[in-house]
Amino acid sequence: MVEIERKFLVIGDTWMHGVTKKTDITQGYLSRSDGRSVRIRTMDEMAFITIKVGKDVTARQEFEFEMPFELATSLLGFLDGDELIKKTRHLVPLTERLAFEVDEFHGELDGLLLAEIELQSVGQRFPRPEWLGGEVTHDPAFLNENLARSYPQIPS
């Protein structure tokens, strides 16, 4: 399956008024190399392993499988604490079929807010709410696999 997504910085807090669901997420990367990653993620009481392949961050192959929660937490235990990402994902619907997922990062990344939108095609248009900041889709510093390593410089 091809995942087509775009990622943006978030400005202010007016996005909070549209939140319909919140999910706590912990994730880490078992493997990451040029254009490939293997991620373990827990979301509340569910767990997934995700394989992403492709250098074009706008449209990559993504394979995701549910896994036992206990196995996921065990695998995440092999990673150093600073390699884990902890965040709260807020669902902010735009239309009947489109929604932003606003990730509020915790720990070392505290204060970072990123909005992602999944699209049906690379050129698909979508409403741009006033709280949507600059696009960082193509900035490798804002890939989650890199966020697990360091806090990015926020573009001005």
Contact status, residue 28 vs residue 144, Cβ threshold 8 Å: no
For 142, the domain range is: 2-147
Residue 85 within a domain? yes
Cα Rg of the chain, angstroms? 15
Residue 152 within a domain? no
Q: What is the CATH number of the domain that holds 130?
A: 2.40.320.10
Residue 98 within a domain? yes
31-51 pLDDT tens trace: 888 888 899 999 989 999 999
Instruction: Quote the number of domains for the chain.
Output: 1
What 3-state DSSP class applies to 128? coil
Handedness of CA 118, 123, 128, 133 (dihedral sign): positive
Contact status, residue 35 vs residue 87, Cβ threshold 8 Å: no
Q: Please report, in angstroms and rounded to a whole number, the separation of the first and last CA atoms in the chain.
A: 34
Q: What pLDDT score does 82 carry? A: 66
- The answer to whether the pTM exceeds 0.85 is yes
83-131 pLDDT tens trace: 899 999 999 999 989 999 999 999 889 999 999 999 999 899 999 999 9
| Range from 27-36, 44-53, 54-63, 145-154 carrying the lowest mean pLDDT | 145-154
Residue 153 within a domain? no
Give the residue numbers marked as catalytic. 29
